[in-house]
Amino acid sequence: MRLRAAAALAVAALLLSGCSAEGSSLGLESLGGSTCANPREADLAFGVYLDNSGDRPITIVGVEPVEMTGMSTPEFRVMDAPDGPGTRLGLAEYPPTGELADAWAGSRDAVGAMLDPGRSYDLVVKVEDTGKPGGKFDGVRVTYEEGGRERVETSHISLELAADTCF
């Protein structure tokens, strides 16, 4: 009988640990779409919108592209979204200039960056064409810690570099 009780407690603990806890979210799971860009001499900056919707800080512990081909290993930085969700990076020259130059001046490496609660950011992905046809990535996976728990979210925003089919 003790074994059954211990087994039942172990199963209950596993079930509870699998439940989603209240906490912050970056909103990446709800993002989707595809952008096609013509490769240029200049490097491109591709922005993925991050929104710490919770009430605790988030620390990014890892960032990686999903299914990346024909591009160099990108650089990932975080910058404040200057005016919230209405103004963001999208696709621009790397490093960003113009209206986003001030926000870029305060950018920092994504890994290790702390995102304050209730604030918006852009995860800036540096995209470099390797010259192979069909350069693309299918999203960005972000691993972060919030309240002592590790979480992973993946954006479903893709980028394709195609000289003949864009613009």
Least confident of 24-28, 62-66, 72-76, 85-89: 85-89
> What's the average model confidence in pLDDT over 51-78?
89
Q: Is residue 151 part of a domain?
A: yes
> What's the average model confidence in pLDDT over 109-137?
86
Name the token pair of 111.
């890994």
Query: What pLDDT shows up at residue 2?
Result: 31
Cis ω before 95 (30° cut-off from 0): yes
Q: Is residue 108 part of a domain?
A: yes
Q: Is residue 118 part of a domain?
A: yes
CA distances from 54 to 25, 57, 79, 115 (A): 6, 8, 18, 10
Q: Is residue 3 part of a domain?
A: no
3-state DSSP assignment of residue 30: helix
> What's the average model confidence in pLDDT over 75-104?
78
How many domains, the chain?
A: 1
> What's the average model confidence in pLDDT over 109-133?
88
Q: Is residue 4 part of a domain?
A: no
Query: What pLDDT shows up at residue 22?
Result: 47
Q: What are phi and psi of 98, to 5 degrees?
A: 65, -130
Cα–Cα distance, 140 to 145 (Å, whole number): 17
Q: Is residue 47 part of a domain?
A: yes
Query: What pLDDT shows up at residue 166?
Result: 62
Q: Is residue 11 part of a domain?
A: no
The CATH number assigned to the domain holding 65 equals 2.60.40.10
Q: Is residue 52 part of a domain?
A: yes
Instruction: Identify the domain containing residue 44 by its residue range.
Output: 21-161
Work out the mean pLDDT of the chain and round it to a whole number. Answer: 74
Q: What is the reported pTM?
A: 0.76
Nearest Cα residue to 161 out of 32, 34, 65:
34
